[in-house]
Chain A
């Protein structure tokens, strides 16, 4: 590009303006065709993929439900101070009654109750009870007294502090929950008590298991890739099928075969009992725990390690190690000082790739991980389909996404995204 432009300039000075303009026009025409060819796919990916991801990012901070269900309360409560020791004024309680009447009629108010229940248990029940009783309430003398009469939690200052804190359009509470932190009633943050912490240890477990799996794939992949790169091409073409066959086999097939192999009444335990290493009531628990996740995922991700290592090792001439040996290096020194440093790029490429794949894995841990061997992705799935806390699922997803993007930038620095190869 740069040289083309430089040439244009030269030609322009020698030959006059028209040529420059017509060249520019022609170049623009070509650019336009190229852009037009890419545009349909770009639009398609934008709508079917990029906007959904963006939607998830928004959802992780979205708190518009407060404004939708409590339109009057969020206005009235603006003047009320979080540090105040008194309940909000009568007007706020009036607004509360009106919002509840509308919300109870449309049967949508319980959603806000569920939302606030994530912050403080008991809120969901309070909202359901209030919604039931609000219809019979007819213009009371004191709205405050009437509401406290329905449930005395409305007279509790903590309830109002919670409503005040979560009255904005956006909320950081899902991220706080994702880091096991919570907002105190005065608006400051603190960590949850140890026994309530879930996600920090989950993130650590995900990273620890991904490291273990990456390490194991390097240990197992290195000898195989070395063998493949040193045997005759004909033999390596045959042997690489043994690596490619698992690579091409459905993920669920491989996971279910590991269930067959590892379970208590499974093949490996049967063999160990059969040859007398284990007694029948002493069978190993290799599945529905961390070991199950690590073994099955190492097997599933091993080809992703072998293939990049193999492609790097193929380019190392065997004469380098021979030269080192001929100059007196021991086999170990020749390997350690000559061969290994030349394969570091392959280890880096394969390692980061396996780590990225492991950290976001869902299916295998869900099937063989039990409760101890599940990863962060399993909790995302749990919050989407079981607990229905979509905001927390979105926050956890966003954190995982940022982690993976950081790793990809690293991958790009080590190998270059454009050098990514398939199969």
Chain B
């Protein structure tokens, strides 16, 4: 992207205009996320900066919204529900998704495209339609407004992410390794746990991470399939924004941003580690 020495004046002008445009677009992307942080310390119950805040007066800032988040029963219930629902739906979807990915990536799997299409359909169908269908059906069978209902719904939404990630890991899988193990007298079960599992584990972990985030961040389905007793953090935020705007939402948002930043860093470190390990493997 560096400008060559022989660039003409018009090229130089264009180059810097282009860079300015890019900076503005990056600002558009990142500014709405950064703005949350100072607003969450606003002493006034508004979603906006007060003039005292702009003059950096210490009494214009407060941590009371964080205290409210930590003490309010509504939010505490939301945090608990979010974790319960996300953990169980992650376990279900990671287990079933990994099994299916192992089956799907076998070379002689019949009707692969059709079955794959059906299995990833929860990711493809717009959430409002999934939510509507699940709401109708789960009310019929008495799962609407129960934890089990929301967990099953979230597990269904999350499985495509597990299937796709684990299948991607398995495409680079060297099947001669399992054959080698078998030729050396290892039983299929032993081979699976000692050869296959360690090799696909990174894929399973990132698939599970995707599943966890899908459930943790999901709001449309939980709004319809769940009720107040199943309220998750996004559910609580949604109804909070609709009913009474309080900067507690900004405090929660800040905490969520910190979580996603640390997840991003974690994934980046994982990626670098894999790259480094790949670098030293012979072949």
Contacts and interface: CB of A to CB of B under 8 A. Distances in A.
Main secondary structure of the interface of A (DSSP, over half): helix
B193 interface: no
B99 A40 contact: yes
Interface in B30-49: 30, 32-33, 35-36, 39, 46-49
A409 B96 CA distance: 27
A270 B51 CA distance: 10
A170 interface: no
Interface stretch (A143-151, A154-162, A336-344, A389-397): A389-397
B99 A299 contact: no
Interface residues of B, number: 90
Contact of B133 (A52, A259, A417, A422): A52
B232 to A, nearest CB: 11
A59 B136 contact: yes
B119 interface: yes
Interface string A23-45: 00001001101111110111011
A224 interface: yes
B159 A384 contact: no
Nearest to B100: A41
Contact of B250 (A260, A266, A356): A260
B140 interface: yes
B47 A263 contact: yes
B96 A367 contact: no
A231 B14 CA distance: 17
B126 A377 contact: yes
A52 B137 contact: yes
Contacts of A381: 128, 131, 224
A363 B21 CA distance: 30
Contacts, number: 265
A37 B105 CA distance: 11
A370 interface: no
A244 B257 CA distance: 12
B205 interface: no
Interface in B114-161: 115-122, 124-138, 140, 152-153, 155-157, 159, 161
Interface residues of A, number: 90
A136 to B, nearest CB: 36
A55 interface: yes
Contacts of A52: 130, 133-134, 136-138
Interface string B232-257: 00100110011001000110010011
A81 interface: no
Nearest to A362: B128
Interface stretch (A97-105, A127-135, A247-255, A309-317): A247-255
Contact of B118 (A42, A361, A366): A42
A200 interface: no
B18 interface: yes
B100 A227 contact: no
B201 interface: no
Most buried by B among A230, A394, A397: A397
B264 interface: yes
Interface string B54-94: 00000000000000000000000000000000000000100
A49 B103 contact: no
Interface string A89-129: 00000000000000000000000000000000000000000
Contacts of B267: 423
A362 B220 contact: yes
Interface stretch (A9-17, A179-187, A400-408): A400-408
A369 B238 CA distance: 14
A256 B140 CA distance: 34
Contacts of B25: 220, 223-224
B47 A231 contact: no
Contacts of B118: 42, 45, 50
Contacts of B234: 250-252
Given A37-B99, A38-B103, A54-B133, 5 more contacts: A31-B108, A50-B118, A52-B137, A249-B260, A299-B32
Interface of B: 1, 11, 14, 18-19, 21-22, 25-26, 28-30, 32-33, 35-36, 39, 46-49, 92, 96-97, 99-100, 102-104, 106, 108-110, 115-122, 124-138, 140, 152-153, 155-157, 159, 161, 163-165, 210, 213, 217, 219-220, 224, 234, 237-238, 241-242, 245, 249-250, 253, 256-257, 260-261, 263-264, 267-268
